[in-house]
Amino acid sequence: MRIGIISSGGDSPGMNAAIRAITRCALDRGVEVIGIHEGWQGVVDGGAKYQRFDWRSAGGILQWGGTILGTARSDIFRTIPGRRQAVRNLVNAGIDGLVVIGGDGSLTGALYLYQEWGDHLAALAAEGALPAELAQNPRPFRIVGLPGSIDNDQYGTDMSIGADTALNTIVEAVDKLSSTADSHQRTFVVEVMGRRCGYLALMGAVATGADWVLIPEEELDARWHHRMTEALKRGREAGRRHDIILVAEGARHSDGLPIRAETIQEVLRNRLGVEARVTVLGHVQRGGSPSAFERVMSSRLGEAAVEYIIGPDPTPVMIGLVNNQTKATPLTEVVAQSQAVNAEIDQGNFRNALVLRGQSFRDSLDLLKTLTRAEPREELADKGRIAILTGGPDAPGMNAVLRTALRIARNEGQDVVGVRDGFQGLARGDIWDLNWMDVQNWINLGGSELGAIRYELTEADLPGIVKTIKAWDIRGLIAVGGMDTYEQVGVLVKGWNRHPELEIPMICVPATIDGNLPGTEVAIGADTALNNIVDAVDKIKYTAGAAHRAFIVEVMGRRCGYLGLMAGIATGAEMELLPEDNATLETLLRDTELLREGFRKGKKLGIVIMSENAFPYYDTEFVRRVMEAESNAAFEVRESILGHLQRGGVPTAFDRIQGSRLGAHAAKQIMSDIAEKRTGAQVVGIMRRGVVFTPFAEALAQMDWENWRPKEQPFLQWHGLADTLAKPGPGERAGEG
């Protein structure tokens, strides 16, 4: 079998990761690969645009933005003769199927090509342009699409390739604008991409703590000026020092007239006498090195595309990521649904468009409307207090959880207190009232503004905690942190029979870079850590020079290989050494032999990602010595222990958004527990089916205590993918990355 790959339409970061995975997974399964340059235009042009790909063709490209295949808009492909020429070239090149990475337009073109395939063959045979036998018994041409668009406007996937990176770019830019805006008490209007889709603007606003957002899916009647300016005015009166307004490029008045950044600037000038600054982010949103999430997702989608195209079902599909699982949706459905949303927006049926965008989009819009309020909707009611704390070690994104939980609860008149330094503060009564504006600028801060320290909580602390609970009338507790924090909650739970005052509803929110928590597939902080690792490894790669060198990069995670495996996939590492693999000196020698083989075949650089506890008895320095000793001078070995820089820095968009989501759910749940007098501890998490609450005892029962990680770890299923992408291709010279 032989397949072609194209990237088409607007480029997006992550396309290269997909191209790499498609190429290598296909070659691995004995399928030949043709890279076709310049999108559909290249398919029509033929000739030199078709290039035979080997293992190395896709080497060293994982960290590049854009697409090595190039992309183009093609008017000729929109015509019947253009597509006929495409069919002729594809058949002549012996191509049985095509993987198309692109947006709605590109995938619409793919569907037409599929539907017309038989007709084109017959016509070409009649013209004598193709042998008649090809037209008589045509094998169905196989088509698989992958969603490639920073706008994240495609049906059939939760995320499209490029959206996460674009969001991070927006977050970085708005963080910078916020700091200067705050100094000068300025108002900034920031225009982001999204012609018919407000995803980037909406999620960008959640992730940056923006104060107003305008998106194409929302009906903006004549009173939007008034609503926006009133809200901004109230915000300033409440003590806000600056305002950020995010507007999607496709936002429009209900009569269809576009709302540009300048439109908003004028409204602010006329109504508030404010001279707002305008920043149009434009094409920087498309560019840059893909984020860690992007690289892992694109690799998974690429693998799934190959599995599908060599499988039995000829139905053309798009492979997307739905609830963190790859999912094939028929292309007819993808195209029809995408066109439906666009039509609703174009016709001004905003409510229908919003429905078609799905529940989680609407939830985010609702959440944003609460978060942007200048003050809570309800006065403080006499409902006791919720205490909120963060346990150590801290993780980036904790502040997003705190900020959102506080505002969601306080909005309903619920009093919330912050506890300084986790359970130690709770025992000492180190507590203060948290107010709406206290958390205004927390979203982009790393660590925890409440303080998160490691603390050995014992029974002896319980009387102090009881005292605090009584003194502050605390009726519920939200504890944000990792396994240490869960254990501390466990100490409280155990103390219930002796201290009935402790029997209040409690919710653990998962936040640790280690990724080792039960009841969730996502822990807040891990995405930031992963991006920190990926940034570091990208830099390390440049230091290898001409030497034959292997780097052992040690990453955190305690006895859990989540960071190690994800970092391995995202950096294109040659191998990962994970605690789950139960590696021994013997396996280490075998791994070294593999590396030696690779270097002998021409490899210049090797990356080995090693989890901090991959070996119970051997540390990284020991592993380095073994490898160097066994390298037979084929390569040298350096080690790089990333340490605490993995935990630091500004949280990524993903951690801020998921942190906000979990914070909101935790706050709502604990308020309802209090109202209905339910007690007991729970763990909130993000699983396949969305946000779920697991009873505390059940969550703990999922743990493998000896190894301090859950017994079941779904991420381990991607071990095979990492191995496939890294190994030297069949019969090929070893490839880099």
Residues with a known catalytic role: 151
Which 3 state secondary structure label does DSSP give 417? strand
Which 3 state secondary structure label does DSSP give 685? strand
Tokens 């779904």: give the residue: 714
Binding site for ligand ADP (CB under 6 A): 8-10, 40, 73-74, 77-78, 102-106, 108-109, 112, 149
Q: Using the minimum distance from each CB to ligand ADP, give the nearer residue, 76 or 125.
A: 76
Which 3 state secondary structure label does DSSP give 102? strand
> What does the block give as tokens for 419?
């506890």
Shortest Cβ 145–ligand ADP spacing (Å):
10
Shortest Cβ 153–ligand ADP spacing (Å):
9
Check: CB of residue 313 under 8 Å from CB of residue 181. no
Mutual angle of helices 224-237 and 261-272, in 10-degree steps: 60
Which 3 state secondary structure label does DSSP give 589? helix
For residues 516-534, one letter each, b for 16 or more C-beta atoms within 10 angstroms of the residue's C-beta and e for the rest, the string is: bbbbbbbbbbbbbbbbbbb
Shortest Cβ 256–ligand ADP spacing (Å):
21
Q: Using the minimum distance from each CB to ligand ADP, give the nearer residue, 102 or 447.
A: 102
Shortest Cβ 112–ligand ADP spacing (Å):
5
Q: Using the minimum distance from each CB to ligand ADP, give the nearer residue, 42 or 728.
A: 42
DSSP 235-289: HHHTT---EEEEEETT-B-TTS-B--HHHHHHHHHHHH----EEEE-GGGGG-SP
Which 3 state secondary structure label does DSSP give 719? helix
Shortest Cβ 102–ligand ADP spacing (Å):
4
CA dihedral 13→17→20→23, nearest 10 degrees, is -90
3-state helix, strand, coil in the chain (%, to 5): 45, 20, 35
Q: How far is CA 61 from CA 69, 616, 722, in A?
A: 11, 34, 15
Shortest Cβ 297–ligand ADP spacing (Å):
18
Total residue length of the chain: 737
Q: Using the minimum distance from each CB to ligand ADP, give the nearer residue, 149 or 165.
A: 149
| Cα–Cα–Cα angle for 187, 188, 190, rounded to 5 degrees | 155
| Distance in angstroms between the alpha carbons of the first and the last residue of the chain | 25
Q: Using the minimum distance from each CB to ligand ADP, give the nearer residue, 89 or 106.
A: 106
Q: Using the minimum distance from each CB to ligand ADP, give the nearer residue, 155 or 212.
A: 155
| Cα–Cα–Cα angle for 154, 61, 544, rounded to 5 degrees | 145
| Cα–Cα–Cα angle for 118, 122, 128, rounded to 5 degrees | 145
What is the Cα gyration radius of the chain? 27
